[in-house]
Amino acid sequence: MTIAQEQQASWIRNFNPLLASNSSRWPTRAGVYEPLMIFNTLKGELVPWLATKHEWSEDNKKLTLTLRPGVKWSDGQPFTAKDVAFTFGLMKQHKALDISAVWTFLDSVQAKDDATVEFTMTRAFVPGLIYIVHQPIVPEHKWKDVADPVMYKNETPVATGPFTEVKVFQNQVFELGRNPHYWQPGKPAVESIRFPAYPSNDQANLALLTGELDWAGSFVPDIDRVFVAKDKEHNHYWFPLVGNTTVLYVNTTKKPFNDVRVRKALSMAIDRDQIVKVAMYGYTRPSDATALSDTHDRWRNPQAVQAGDWTKLNIEKANAMLDEAGYKKGADGVRVGPDKKPLRFDVNVVTGWTDWVRAAQIITQNLKQVGVDAVLKTYDFSPYFERIQKGEFDASMGWTSEEPSPYFVYRDLMGTETLRPIGEVSARNWHRYGSKEADALLQAFEATNDPEEQKKIAYQMQDLFVKNAPVIPLFPGPSWGEYSTRRFTNFPNKDNPYAKLTPNTPPENLLVLVEVKPK
Amino acid sequence: MRHILRNLGLYAFAAWASLTLNFLIPRLMPGDPASAMFARFAGQLQPEAIEALRQAFGFTDEPLLQQYFTYVGHLFQGDLGLSVAYFPAKVTDVIATGLGWTLLLSGVAVIIAFGLGSLLGVIATWRRGGWLDSVLPPVLIFLGAFPYFWLAMMLLYVLGLTFEAFPIRHAYSDTLAPAFSAEFILDVLQHMVLPATAIVIASLGGWMLNMRSTMVGVLAEDYITMANAKGLSQKRIMFHYAARNALLPNVTGFGMALGFVLSGSLLTEIVFSYPGQGYLLIQAVRNQDYALMQGIFLTITLAVLGANLLVDILYVWLDPRTRAR
C-alpha cells in the first residue's frame, strides 16, 4: 500500500517514537510503536489498545491501567507493565521527550504487576488521561542501553505495532513490513506499506491523480473535478469537519479589541458563507459562536449556539454596536474612536496558505463595509508564528486546540493558566484573554470523572465563551483524507465512519492501518 | 604555475570571508529558531519540552563572538552540528542524502548546456546569416526567459504525463536499489532526461549568445584572415583558431555555473521530486535551521571556489598569455 503523509525530498532514517511526530518517519508514533488507548474522534470514545481498561480512584488522583495479556514485542519478548513504567521514566528524565508535558501533573508511575500500571498524580487532572494513554510505549530491554534517547534515531525499531520491519530504506522511498508477532490475529491484512518522497503538496497530489497512491492526507483544491472525476469508481475522499477551528485572533490587550462589543461587531460584519464558498471550496461550513468543530459535537450546547447571534452576518447590528462602543464614522468613512484614533489595524496571515489568504481578503473587504480599515499583512510562517506567540499583532488568522475534549479548547482560549504577558512566547492563548470565571469551570472539569457533570460544565464554558467572544470563530477545519479502492478496500468513509480517514493525526490512523484490506 | 599559486592566497581569503558571512547572515534573519521549531510541531509540543529541546540543540544566548569561535572550531573537525529540521540527524548526514544527486543532475545539465551552447554559437557565427544564426538565438532567448520551473512543469505535463515517455519523479525507480549495474545506471539516466532537459533549455541561450558575440569579434581578427590565406582547412580555423580564443569568457562563466550547481536547480528538483539539495535549502530556511543552512552554504561556497580554481587551470591551458611571466 502506497501512502503519502509527510512532505520531504529525501528520507532521514529515524524511528524514535518519543520525539514529536514530524521528527520521526510516519507512522512511528502509532503504526510502529503503539499507544495504550486510542481516542476515536468520530465515535467519541477511547478504544482499548495495549491497555484494556482504565480506572480512576475515588479522588481522581490515581489512575490504574490494565494491560492486554499476550502482547509481544516484534523480537518475541513479552510486553509488560515494566515497559510502560520505563517509558514514562525516560520522559521524566529527559524533558525534551515529554512532548505533552505529562510530568507537570504526574507524581509517579509504577508497575504493580506485569499487567497493571498505576499513575499517581499531583492533583486531580482527569483531562490528562488522553496524554497518558496516547503515549507510545518503548521496550525496556532495548532502550535501557540507549545513551541519549533524545538524540537517538532508532534505525531498526523493535515495537508492538502492526508494521515494524524496515524492508527498504533509501533516500527517496522506504517500506515497512508486517510485525511477525502482532497481537491481533490476521492483522494487518496489508503485506507492507510504502512511502515515496514527495517534496510538496503538488507532487503528492499528482501521484494521487496518476493512481500511484492508495492513501493520502493532503489538501486538494476542487477535489470533485480534479480527483474524483478522473476515476469515479475508485477515487474517493472524505473531509469530516473534525479538525481544529480556524479563528480570527484579536489582541485583547489592545484597543479596540479589549471591548467585547467591538469583537462581536467585527464578527457580525464577516460574511462566513462567502469565505466557506470562495476560500474553502465549500469543504466546510460557517462556525457557530461556540468555536467547537465536529470533534466536540457531542458536547455542543444548543442554547449557547442559539445565543451566539454574533457569528451571523448582520451589518446593521454591527454598525449599531460600533456606534454604541464610541466608534463613529469619520469624514472618509473610517470610524474614529473616543481617543480620536481611526479604527485601523492589520490582519496577519501566512504567505502561501492560499485558503487563509483568500479568507483574510474577504474579511478585510467585509470590514470596510462597516467603516473598519483592516489591512491584510502576509508573513512567512516563522515570523508570523513568532508574532502570534508573543502577542505582537492586532488581528491574526489562527487555529484552536485539537485535543478530544472541549476542556483544552477553552483552557487555551480563556483560561488564565495559559496567559502570558505580551512579548513572552506563549504556546496557546495567543490573543491574551483570561477569565477567572473560566478558571473556576476549568478546575471543576479537571476534577470530575462523571460524564454528566463534565457535560454540564462544558455547557457552562460554552455559555461563557459565547458571552465574551474572546476570539472570532470562522469555520471548523476539515480533516483531509483521500483514498483509492483500486488495490485496497475498507477505508473509513461517510457510510462506514469507523475512524478518521486522515493519516495526519496519530494515533487514530492506527485504527485505519489495521483495518485496510487488499482487494 | 605562478599564476595559480598567486591566486591561492586569494582563495584562502575568500574562503574565510564566506565562512564568516555564512555564520552571520542566518543570525541576522528575523525570527527565533526555537520558536520556529515550535511552529513546526504546531501545538504538539508543550512549552516545557520546547525549553528542554532548545538546550539539546545548543541554542544559546552566548555572545556572538563566542558562538563564532565555537562554529569555526567545530568546522575544522568536520562537525557541522545537528539539523533542527531533521532532528536528531547530523547536518553532514542530511546533506549527504542529496548532494550526490544534485551534483549529478545539475553537473550533467550544465556541461551539456555549456558544450552544446558553445558549439551552436560557433557554428551559427561561422555561417553568419544562415538559418541557424537567424532562427535559434531569438527562440532560445524566448525559452530562456521562462522560469526553470515553468519549463519543468510543461515537460512534466507533456512528455511525462500525456505521452508517458519518461518517468516524472525521483532519481531512479522506487523498485530498484542503488547499485553499479547497467540496469540501474540506465534507469538513472532515464529519470534525468526531463529535469536535465528543463535546465538545458533554459540556459542554452545564454551560452550560445555569449559564444556568438565573442566569435564575431574574433573572426574579424587578422590572424583569421591570415589562416584563411594560408589555405588551412575551414574546420581547423573554426575550432583551433577562432573558437579556442572566443571560448575564454564562456569558460569563466562555466566556472561560475559549475559552482552554483550545488545550490541545486532548486525548483526543477522540486517539480520532479528529485532528492537533491534544492529542497533541503528551502526546508532549512523555512525552519530557520542555521546549522543546515550553514552546511549547505558551505558546500556551495567551497564548490564555487573549487570550480574557479579549475577554471584558472583551464585558462593556463587555453590562453598561453597566462603562462608567460
Q: What is the pLDDT of residues A363-420, one digit of tens each?
A: 999 999 999 999 999 988 778 888 898 899 999 999 998 888 899 999 999 999 888 8
Higher pLDDT, B58 or A267: A267
Q: What is the pLDDT of residues A22-47, one digit of tens each?
A: 788 999 998 999 999 999 999 989 99
- The arithmetic mean of pLDDT across residues A481-494, rounded, is 95
Is A198 in the B-facing interface, judged by CB distances under 8 Å?
yes
Residue B145: other Cβ atoms inside 10 A: 10
Measuring CA to CA, which residue among A427, A500, A502, A382 is closest to residue A26?
A: A502
Cα angle B201-B206-B208, degrees, rounded to a multiple of 5:
90
A93 touches chain B (CB under 8 A): no
Q: Are A143 and A82 in contact (CB under 8 A)?
A: no
Mean pLDDT of chain A: 93
Judged against a pLDDT cut of 60, whether residue B40 lies above it is answered with: no
Residue in B closest to A424 by C-alpha: B35
Among A14, A152, A171, the residue with its CB nearest the CB of B275 is A171
- The H or E element spanning position A344 is strand A344-350
**String of b and e for A199-236 (b: at least 16 CB within 10 Å)?**
bbeebbbbbbeeebbbbbbbbbeebeeebeeeeeebbb
Q: Which of A200, A386, A426 sits opposite B270 (nearest CB)?
A: A200
The helix or strand, by DSSP H or E, that contains position A116, with its residue range, turns out to be strand A116-121
Cell 481611526 sits at which residue?
Answer: A342
Query: Among A186-195, A284-293, A300-309, B277-286, whose mean pLDDT is lowest?
Result: B277-286
> Residue B43 and residue A152: Cβ atoms within 8 Å?
no
Cβ partners under 8 Å of residue B263, min gap 6: B277, B278, B281, B296, B300
Contact B49 A16 (CB under 8 A): no
Chain B CB contacts of A194 under 8 Å are 174
> Is the minimum CB–CB distance between A6 and chain B shorter than 8 Å?
no
- A16/B174 Cβ within 8 A: no
Cell numbers linked to B206: 545564454
Pairing of strands A215-216, A3-4: parallel
Kindly state the percentage of chain B with pLDDT values over 90.
Answer: 8
HSE, side-chain direction, 13 A CA sphere, residue A122: 6
- Residues of chain A positioned with their CB less than 8 A from the CB of B87: 19, 23
Three-class DSSP category at A165:
strand
Least Cα distance to A65 among A123, A129, A108, A128 occurs for A129
Task: Return the residue of A nearest to B47 by Cα.
Answer: A427
Least confident segment among A245-249, A352-356, A371-375: A352-356
Count of CB pairs separated by less than 8 Å, A with B: 159
Q: Is the pLDDT at B52 greater than 70, yes or no?
A: no
Question: B237: Cβ–Cβ under 8 A, 6 or more apart, which residues?
Answer: B224, B227, B228
Residue B29 confidence (pLDDT): 66
Q: How many Å lie between the alpha carbon of B73 and the closest alpha carbon of chain A? A: 22
**What amino acid is encoded at B266 in this protein?**
L
In B, minimum Cα distance to A408 occurs at B43
Q: Please tell me the pTM assigned to this model.
A: 0.86
Q: What is the pLDDT of residue B49?
A: 67
Instruction: Tell me the shortest Cα–Cα distance from B294 to chain A, in angstroms.
Output: 18
| B197 contacts: CB under 8 Å, gap ≥ 6 | B155
How many Å lie between the alpha carbon of B179 and the closest alpha carbon of chain A? 12
Using a 10 angstrom Cβ sphere, with 0-12 exposed, 13-18 middle and 19 or more buried, the burial of residue B284 is buried
Closest partner residue to B87 among A23, A103, A197, by Cβ?
A: A23
**Chain A residues close to B47, C-beta within 8 Å:** 101, 425-427
A392 touches chain B (CB under 8 A): no
Hey, are the CB atoms on A99 and B172 less than 8 Å from each other?
A: no
pLDDT tens digits along B66-108: 888 888 888 888 888 778 778 778 888 888 888 888 888 888 9
Average pLDDT in the A75-103 region? 92
* A197/B43 CB distance under 8 A: no
Give the side-chain half-sphere CA count within 13 A for A66.
6
Question: What is the number of residues in chain A?
Answer: 519
Q: Is A375 on the interface with B (CB under 8 A)?
A: no
**Nearest by CB to B31, which of A19, A21, A386?**
A386
Taking CA–CA distances from B175, the nearest residue in chain A reads A173
* Closest chain B C-alpha to A516 CA, distance in angstroms: 23
ipTM above 0.90, yes or no: no
Mark yes or no for CB contact A9/B274 under 8 Å.
yes
**Predicted local confidence at residue A175, as pLDDT:** 95
The percentage of residues in chain B with a pLDDT greater than 70, rounded to a whole number, is 86
Please state, as a whole number, how many other Cβ atoms lie within 10 Å of the Cβ of residue A337: 19
CA distance A116 to A128: 19
CA–CA gap between residue A495 and residue A486 (Å, rounded): 18
Q: Does A382 reach chain B within 8 Å, measured CB to CB?
A: yes
pLDDT of B186 higher than 60: yes
pLDDT at B245: 84
* Number of other CB atoms surrounding residue A185 within 10 Å: 5
Q: Calculate the average pLDDT of chain B.
A: 82
| C-alpha–C-alpha distance, residues B234 and B240, integer Å | 10
Q: Do B287 and A104 touch (CB under 8 A)?
A: no
Does any CB of chain B come closer than 8 Å to the CB of residue A319? no
Q: Residue range A121-145: average pLDDT?
A: 94
Return the amino acid letter for A338.
P
